[in-house]
Amino acid sequence: MLKSLFIQNFVLIDNLDISFDKGLSVITGETGAGKSIILGALSLVLGSRADGKSIKKDSDKCVIEVTFDISLYNLEKFFFKNDLEYDAKNCILRRELYASGKSRAFINDSPVSLNILKELGSRLIDIHSQHQNLLLGDNRFQLKVTDAMAENDILLILYKKEYSRYMGLRRELKDLIDKASRARQEEDYIRFQLEQLMEANLREGEQEELEQEQETLSHAEEIKGSLYKITQTLQGDEEIGVVQMIKSALSIADSLERYYPKAKEIAERLRSAYIDLNDLAGDADSQKEDVEFNPQRLDWVNERLNELYSLEQKHRVSKVEELIELRNNLQIRLSAIDSYDEQIGQMKLRIKESRKELLQQASVISAQRRQAGKIISEQLVSMIAPLGMPNTRFEVQFMSKQEPDADGMDEISFMFSANKNADLQPVAQTASGGEISRLMLCIKAMIAGTTALPTIIFDEVDTGVSGDIADKMGDIMQELGTKMQVITITHLPQIAAKGKEHYFVYKEDVDDRTATRIKRLSKEERIKEVARMLSGSALTNAAIANAKVLLRKN
């Protein structure tokens, strides 16, 4: 429920602060007094676009603030999702406009984007103007009305979830088909690369082993000669070989041990050195025999290394292990290509199952809509007949779509005729402006119990009607006010008299400027305003008497 509206420095308004109550409230005033300005300010604080021209002349800043009681509307999730403080009794929306063209938006003093402000505003107020009557010819609006009457909220949430899954699977299938197509274009080249790498019989560590063997084979004679020199140095002739010299020294140490005990340690160390060097000499001599120059083997090693180097250069890697990794990846890619048909088949099966589920849900929704369509037709004709349209015929026409979309499988059209024996035609093509206004009022009243909007504002939707019809429209608004907060801007005394509260908008000259004001009328002021609406600017006793009767009646 809208509790209060504060406006500062907006167009002709310097300062306005007004509170509202439950039920039906009416706003009246002369044409041009500023009712539309107040409504414009309210639209801005609910998220409409603004410009610097909205700011009162000679002012730098404009502030519009509204306070709502949202305790009955289950908006906690919205506030939690957007990291906003939740105050059910006093939810404050504020919009600040600057002469520079900039604007700022706040919810409970927290800065928010215009989109968030607009999203919350759409849940708090439904502003219904003559311009909104154009919505009646919009098939999406007609579908929303039908769903509201069918109470399809939960069914549509489940349906949209499945539809999202269905569309996601279709996108995945398209991506998979595209990948398969691209992969098949590359398949021959991948197979060629893989065959080349498979034929190479790659082995981890092979390159390092071959490079070492290449070094050895390339310097075989040099290695053999060096090992021979080592052997000769260690063993040599009996007198000059290192091993023989150590053996002689060991013999001397052994003989010295009898009269010099410390010679024992020397002898042990010499014996150990003798054993190690004698083994080393044997190993060097043996390795000398193992090394031989083998030109055929060297040619093979060079060939093999050239093959590896060529593959590495071709694939822009530096070692065999990277070639092996590439080979494995190519095998995986080729395996994936071979499995694309199976993956595509499985994906098509999943899509088929999802589509079946989607169509089943759409069928349930469609059945609910068709049942609601009959109720809409009956109730609308019943409600609108007293509004000067006794011959009205109305029908909700259904057509099935070829493919399901986000709203289901139904195309809906409101078919209307206001005259006897006239063919039903789409409402936008046949209804006049006044007829559409009355239709929209009845539709809003009809769905009020299901849409649960805290506040609805009617902006001169009674234009073009008068007398008894105006009185009946007022009755509908008054009844609507028992279910929700209703504010109506009107020029008709029959409707103005229905309000629980009455607000009057007027202009006032202040110094060298004109300002728009609004005030809540007292009982006596209200009698005079309704009398003025009945008789014009000149109040007569008859008009005042009629006004009292009209107010007392309501």
DSSP per-residue letters across 90-136: -EEEEEEEETTS-EEEEETTEEE-HHHHHHHHHHHEEEEETGGGGGG
Could you tell me if residue 498 is inside a domain?
yes
Rounded Cα gap, residues 379 and 386, in angstroms = 12
Give the count of alpha carbons within 13 A of 71, CB side only: 4
CATH value at residue 39: 3.40.50.300
Res 290: pLDDT: 66
Total-model pTM: 0.64
151 assigned to some structural domain = no
Torsion of CA 174, 177, 181, 186, to 10 degrees: 110
Which whole-number Å values give the CA distances from 331 to 41, 183, 203, 260, 324, in the listed order?
A: 67, 13, 16, 77, 11
Three-state SS annotation for 278-325: HHHHHHHHHHHHHCCCCHHHHHHHHHHHHHHHHHHHHCCCCCHHHHHH
Tell whether 226 is covered by a domain: yes
Residue 4: CB atoms within 10 Å: 14
**Does 538 share its domain with 506?**
no
Indicate whether 446 and 539 sit together in one domain.
no
For residues 126 and 448, give the distance between their C-alpha atoms in angstroms, rounded to a whole number: 11
For residue 237, the 8-state DSSP code is S
270 shares a domain with 196: yes
Do 9 and 56 share a structural domain? yes
Same domain, 111 and 234: no
- Same domain membership, residue 41 and residue 7: yes
Please give the chain's pLDDT, 554 residues, in tens. 999 999 998 888 888 899 999 999 999 988 888 888 888 888 899 888 877 677 887 788 899 999 999 988 889 999 999 999 999 999 999 999 988 888 899 999 999 999 999 999 888 888 776 555 556 777 888 898 899 899 898 999 999 999 999 999 999 999 999 988 887 878 778 888 888 888 888 888 888 888 887 877 777 777 777 777 887 777 776 557 787 788 888 887 888 877 878 888 888 888 888 888 888 887 777 776 666 777 888 888 888 888 888 888 888 888 889 999 999 988 888 887 878 888 899 999 999 999 999 999 999 999 999 999 999 999 999 988 888 888 899 999 999 999 999 999 999 999 999 888 888 998 878 877 778 878 888 888 888 766 666 788 888 777 777 778 888 888 888 988 888 889 999 889 999 999 999 999 988 887 777 888 899 999 999 999 999 988 876 788 888 899 898 888 87
Shared domain for 499 and 539, answered yes or no, is no
Burial of 507 from C-beta contacts in 10 A (0-12 / 13-18 / 19+): middle
Cα 219–chain centre separation = 71
298, part of any domain? yes
Quick one: pLDDT at residue 513?
79
Phi first, then psi: what are they for 146, rounded to 5°?
A: -65, -40
As a whole number of angstroms, the distance between CA 114 and CA 327 comes to 55
Number of domain units in the chain: 3
Which amino acid makes up residue 326?
L
Q: Could you tell me if residue 140 is inside a domain? A: no
Are residues 106 and 17 located together in one domain of the fold?
yes
Comparing C-alpha atoms, which of 454, 402, 391 is closest to residue 424?
391
> Domain end: 304, 337, 370, which one?
337
**Coil, strand, or helix at residue 203?**
coil
- Are residues 209 and 110 part of one domain? no
- List the helix and strand counts (H, then E) for the chain: 17, 15
DSSP string, 472-498: HHHHHHHHHTTTSEEEEE-S-HHHHTT
518 Cβ contact list (under 8 Å, min separation 6)? 16, 18, 27, 34, 38, 503, 504, 505, 506
347 lies in a domain? no
Q: Which residue has the tokens 């109550």?
A: 21
Q: In what order do the strands lie in the sheet with 91-98?
A: 13-19, 2-10, 61-68, 91-98, 103-107, 110-112
Give Rg (Cα) of the chain: 48
Do 63 and 110 share a domain, yes or no? yes
Q: Does residue 378 fall inside a structural domain? A: no
- 98 beta partners: 61
Q: Are residues 231 and 276 in the same domain?
A: yes
Structure token digits, residue 142 = 């007609």
Instruction: Tell me whether strands 61-68 and 2-10 are parallel, antiparallel or unpaired.
Output: antiparallel
Single residue among 313, 337, 361 that ends a domain in this structure: 337
User: What is the reported pLDDT for 228?
Assistant: 75
- Cα separation of 190 and 195, whole Å? 9
Q: Which of 283, 310, 337 is the last residue of a domain?
A: 337
Compute how many other C-beta atoms are within 10 angstroms of the C-beta atom of residue 189: 10
What span, in angstroms and rounded, lies between the C-alpha atoms of 118 and 43? 9
User: HSE of 76 in the Cβ direction (CA atoms, 13 Å)?
Assistant: 3
* CA–CA gap between residue 55 and residue 500 (Å, rounded): 32
368 CB neighbour count, 10 Å cutoff: 18
**Position 348 in a domain:** no
Q: Are 201 and 246 members of one domain?
A: yes
Find the domain containing 249 and state its range.
182-337
Taking CA atoms, 74 is separated from 87, 106, 486, in Å, by: 12, 20, 20
Supply 495's token pair.
Answer: 């409707």
pLDDT at 217: 76
Residue entry with tokens 């509260």: 501
- Tell me the C-alpha distance between 65 and 94, whole Å: 4
Looking at residue 55, the DSSP 8-state letter turns out to be: B
